[in-house]
């Protein structure tokens, strides 16, 4: 534990919690804080050290990872009334694993460097809960190459691959591209399950039948069986998260003049699932199948 410097970790939810556990399993010294304190108990039991605030995390660790819900949460944790900015200096590196807006990322990183001299990497991840638990996440990095190299020992515990995509914001743009493909894939997998069922085909056999062909994908193999069997627990990704991410893709596409009609159609499916009382934002993304099978 004492051989490497402490790692700060703020945001210990569906993805962040497994990442903290992975770091602890790899012998890292981890200082944690979460806006909902109840999520810290199992991590402390596993060996993490709980801080009293986000600021205290920055006081105890020079590398601070964030894994938060959205742009507003990241901004509050860094620059809010009780945020960590006053405790940050030129020796600090903020590693933002959240999936947030690229333009806001550039703005916050620039402000933090100007006001505190601290460094920022936007490093959103892909792979979901199973990859987080196994240390097999995919990381898209935006920021200075030197900072990517400095964080390598952290990513060694969490990820199977880190790709430096460019300057600050590039990692978040890449995650938007990732979510664009995944959301469209999930929407059509749900339609496929309903199509097969209405035709009298056993939808539970489809993921295995399509494995290895051009239609195969991780979403098909992970969420296809869940959709076909209507098994949506434990959650692996929330409807609300995808709605938020795809709304961002559509906004960014408008900003840059890109035409995204298929993505826009997928967004409407996630909005519809979010709005339904019997599905809702907290439901696993596989529950989107109910839009086309419960009618």
Based on the residue annotation, tell me whether 175 is a catalytic residue of this protein: yes
Quote the tokens at residue 55: 């600021």
Indicate which residues carry an active-site annotation: 175
């Amino acid at each position: 534990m004492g051989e490497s410097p402490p790692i700060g970790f703020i945001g210990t939810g569906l993805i962040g919690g497994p990442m903290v556990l992975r770091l602890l399993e790899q012998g890292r010294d981890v200082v944690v804080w979460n806006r909902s304190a109840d999520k810290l108990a199992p991590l402390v039991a596993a060996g993490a050290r709980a801080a009293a605030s986000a600021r205290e995390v920055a006081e105890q660790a020079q590398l601070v990872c964030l894994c938060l819900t959205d742009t507003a949460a990241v901004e509050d944790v860094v620059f809010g009334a009780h945020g960590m900015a006053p405790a940050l200096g030129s020796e600090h590196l903020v590693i933002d694993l959240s999936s947030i807006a690229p333009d806001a990322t550039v703005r916050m990183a620039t402000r933090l460097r100007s006001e505190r001299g601290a460094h920022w990497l936007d490093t959103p991840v892909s792979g979901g809960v199973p990859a987080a638990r196994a240390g097999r996440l995919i990381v898209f990095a935006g920021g200075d190459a030197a900072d990517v190299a400095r964080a390598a020992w952290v990513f060694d515990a969490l990820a199977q691959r880190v790709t430096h995509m460019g300057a600050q914001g590039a990692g978040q743009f890449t995650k938007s591209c990732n979510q664009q493909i995944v959301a469209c894939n999930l929407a059509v997998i749900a339609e496929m399950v309903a199509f097969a069922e209405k035709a009298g085909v056993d939808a539970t056999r489809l993921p295995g039948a399509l494995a290895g062909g051009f239609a195969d994908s991780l979403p098909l193999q992970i969420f296809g069986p869940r959709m076909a069997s209507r098994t949506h627990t434990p959650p692996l990704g929330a409807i609300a998260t995808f709605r938020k991410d795809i709304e961002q893709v559509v906004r960014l596409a408008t900003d840059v003049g890109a035409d995204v009609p298929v993505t826009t159609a997928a967004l409407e499916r996630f909005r519809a699932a979010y709005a339904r009382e019997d599905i809702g934002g907290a439901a696993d993304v596989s529950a989107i199948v109910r839009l086309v099978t419960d009618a």
